[in-house]
Structure 1
């Protein structure tokens, strides 16, 4: 397992964490006065700290702020704890204990070597193990993108540990395969070998591609998948270069800065992309592992938030949740469709997402 060296110089360590002081969370990442503000307006940031915890035999880097009921914020791909930079101080000021991990394979958390170390059982065990290490019995579990998948499955498989679940962008059971096929086989049959999830299955290929120019990757990816960009092209071209399907912004949108691009670049130059890609390489394994729960509902109270310019908003599963409770999520309390927002919901619309989360958390 790889992990940050104990002897890392303090300055280099903080640079890798996103340039955050241990006494206060990100002046540059404090919640903005409005979601369209051109620059972050530093609010009185709640005291926060970075630390490492031993969870399920790996060392997990977390950012923690506030006191009160425990809220876990789970990032997606390709992100880190930093994607929640706006919500951390806001939720802490509102009376919650906010803990945001770099999930396994990401940031400064360990990166196990086997692909199967990233299956859904390991990912859910990391969340319940983190709750245990933090000395709690339950938590509010909030996730975005792949973090939403982990949040849904933690609520499904371990409902006694979840006070409530909130998912951003990705609805529950969004990748159901057709007929008797496994998920990757189904995607290959429908879209071909160049569909991005199929492309990600080959170890070493996409890993090298993504790592070749992470600064350009994050500048383009954040723009392309946002409400300001043209939207995803999920097909990787014959060149095999993901950068070739990502649009170059003429100027950065108001919601992210060059500092944000540089922060993600530094974090992924440290961690590489293989850990996150290994989550995708367990699609079929996860489908088989969760077969016994196929007809089981997610029972804890739930919130769903998605941008109307996120392609996943048009999926049948998202449309069903936007219409109200479903058989799979019978205790859905609220669904929020964010006009003009794309995939990076909590970064593009920090004020609206924070308000939705606070309203939901307080209600349950």
Structure 2
């Protein structure tokens, strides 16, 4: 971990934190985190890909971790985050990049990839694949689903405010590590789904947990609730079916609750996803949860490094 360097880049009027390891002359890999995560979620993968001869770059999105928040977090958009990623890559003078994204990070990765296909050497996503609106229009989410609840301004804030930041982050990690979708009943809130003495997942150490807590104590949840829960992925003006042509891998934990989101598993397993991502390979990790990259880092790192090596030739300009 002490070999991971940290820098701050002036990006689109904000000072954004970027963690980095590996030679600047090596093929570049940018890691895009989800929620409730920060750059640190990729610590195992960053070290592994650097040891395999790649340059690993993991930013904190604006309003997350050590990065500056936007002036008005409630007005932040996915476009802002996509533009930040493009600007980070340009600032580091990278012409071709592998993109690895998890959870809502994929909702930033795919618009970036569609806008800059010439910059993409390959893509790996976790938990989610490319889902343009047409793919999921007939699958409404339950009212008590955490995504639905947190979409309403003020509701999550009121729920979270009953607890300190440590408890909120702990509860989210516990809920998201389970195999069932977090759905609250009509008269309860999402935080009520976790019993007070429930332990953290066994694979998350107290030291690692403390890192997440300290940075959410710094950043709070204002930007995190806006992006991803209160904004929408913008694919731009697409008259035709948008397609991701680069080599792509989807890594899913077999026990990830995300597989039970209405329509998700069917969309992937039926092959419908290949209408949009024709060069997709899907890998299921046995017993893997929503945080499979932290839960089984050795297995995941092997998948990533094999993919990167197979497509290394594409990183050359």
* Equivalent position to 2:32, from 59, 74, 78: 74
Aligned in 2, Cα 1:328/1:50: closer, same or farther, shift over 3 Å?
Answer: same
Does the Cα contact within 8 Å between 1:237 and 1:245 map onto a contact in 2?
Answer: no
Does the Cα contact within 8 Å between 1:50 and 1:63 map onto a contact in 2?
Answer: yes
Shift of 1:206: 1.3
Aligned in 2, Cα 1:250/1:191: closer, same or farther, shift over 3 Å?
Answer: closer
CA distance in 2, matches of 1:249, 1:92: 38
Q: Does 1:109 pair with 2:55? A: no
Q: Does 1:233 pair with 2:191? A: no
CA distance in 2, matches of 1:293, 1:82: 38
TM-score by length of 2: 0.86
Q: Does 1:219 pair with 2:177? A: no
TM-score by length of 1: 0.76
Ranges in structure 1 where 5+ consecutive residues have no aligned partner: 1-24, 27-46, 180-185
Residue 203 of structure 1 is matched in structure 2 by 153
User: How many pairs does the alignment contain?
Assistant: 304
CA distance in 2, matches of 1:272, 1:293: 39
Shift of 1:310: 0.9
Residue 241 of structure 2 is matched in structure 1 by 295
Residue 15 of structure 1 is matched in structure 2 by none
Residue 61 of structure 1 is matched in structure 2 by 17
CA distance in 2, matches of 1:210, 1:250: 17
Does the Cα contact within 8 Å between 1:145 and 1:170 map onto a contact in 2?
Answer: yes
Alignment deviations for residues 200-250 of structure 1 (CA, whole Å, 9 cap, x no partner): 233343135335322222333323322xx453323365343x321135565
Aligned in 2, Cα 1:202/1:299: closer, same or farther, shift over 3 Å?
Answer: same
Ranges in structure 2 where 5+ consecutive residues have no aligned partner: 312-317
CA distance in 2, matches of 1:156, 1:236: 39
* Equivalent position to 2:95, from 137, 142, 157: 137
Residue 147 of structure 1 is matched in structure 2 by 105
Shift of 1:331: 1.5
**SS of match in other structure, 1:300:** coil
Alignment deviations for residues 166-207 of structure 1 (CA, whole Å, 9 cap, x no partner): 10011211765536xxxxxx74xx523x43223223334313
Does the Cα contact within 8 Å between 1:52 and 1:61 map onto a contact in 2?
Answer: yes
* Greater RCO (CA < 8 Å, at least 6 residues apart): 2
